[in-house]
Amino acid sequence: MVVLAIYLVIRVATFAYFAPEIIAFENTPAQGLYSQELEARAERWTIRSWFRTIGETGINILLLLAIIQPGKEISMRHKKNNWNL
């Protein structure tokens, strides 16, 4: 459940911060005055995006492991049901 909660936090951050920022960057005119503020925002977005990507990759690996490896409780229940046949 902790992995799922972290996954949801990453999704919320994506919709609340990353998506609006990338849309703002796309709507910025290519020809214009150089802006240190815009450069700082882009750099901040890039660094945070790397951490988000690493986090998403880790979460996806953990979720896949949880799916392909049945829990002890489930496997013990399965064995018990097979013995009663």
Average predicted confidence (pLDDT) for the chain? 84
Which residue reads 């064995």 in tokens? 79
d(CA 6, CA 30): 36
d(CA 78, CA 50): 42
Predicted structure pTM score = 0.68
Structure tokens at 13: 């951050």
- Give the pLDDT confidence of 4-44 residue by residue, as tens digits: 888 899 999 999 999 999 999 888 888 877 888 988 999 99
Mean pLDDT value of segment 75-80: 60
Q: How much is the pLDDT for 19?
A: 94
Q: How much is the pLDDT for 80?
A: 62
